[in-house]
Amino acid sequence: MTTEQPIDPLAFRSALGCFATGIAVITTIAPDGLPLGVTVNSFSSVSLDPPLVQFCLGRAAMSFEAFNVAPHFAVNILAADQEDLSNRFSRRDLQERWAGLETTTGRGGVRLLAGCLATLECDREHLLDGGDHVIVLGRVRKLTSREDGDPLLYFRGRYARLG
């Protein structure tokens, strides 16, 4: 008989860090009308038909409640030269993140970041329980992408580049 041992959280995080991921900034509008954005690396496609994507947001995130009620969000997939945006949208001050940024307005007033490899404008479909995170499922309603550029990647707790 084999007894399973509890998974050490630090070992779990280290093992997951072996999976290289892209980085995106998810943007939305708070109930008070202010723009919000958060850096994530837990983003993926779910379905082609219908076009669905998902991202995970920690329940402790300052923008957690806004993303739970916002009907729209955008996924801004960052290019290799946008490390500064990844860092900016990881800061604690939610409004400082927007200072001096070039943006356009998408569906539902959601701000879209300039220079990204791709931008997906989504309607929130479902929220699913994911332990200490919530899984936000969205239906893609509009998208743009560019043919050039490399992705901003994250691997073993730091930024990485192709090649």
Q: What is the pLDDT of residues 140-151, one digit of tens each?
A: 999 999 999 999
Instruction: Answer for the pair 96, 89: CB distance below 8 angstroms, yes or no.
Output: no
* 5 found inside a domain: no
**Residue 119 scores a pLDDT above 90:** yes
The CATH number of residue 112's host domain is: 2.30.110.10
Q: pLDDT, tens digit, for every residue of 63-117?
A: 889 999 999 999 999 999 999 999 999 987 766 889 889 999 999 999 999 999 9
Q: Is residue 30 part of a domain?
A: yes
How far apart are the C-alpha atoms of 78 and 122, rounded to whole Å?
17
Residue 47 lies in a domain: yes
Q: What range defines the domain where residue 87 resides?
A: 22-155
What is the band of 9 on the pLDDT scale with cuts at 50, 70, 90?
Answer: confident
Amino acid at 88: R
When divided into structural domains, the chain yields a total of: 1
> What is the tens place of the pLDDT at every residue in 25-63?
999 999 999 999 999 999 999 999 999 999 999 998 888
61 part of a folded domain: yes
Has residue 11 been placed in a domain? no
Q: Above 90 in pLDDT, residue 24? A: yes
Indicate the residue type of 100. Answer: G
Q: Is residue 7 part of a domain?
A: no
**Whole-model pTM?**
0.91
Q: Is residue 160 part of a domain?
A: no
Q: How confident is the model at residue 2 (pLDDT cuts 50, 70, 90)?
A: low
SS3 state at 46: strand
Q: Is residue 121 part of a domain?
A: yes
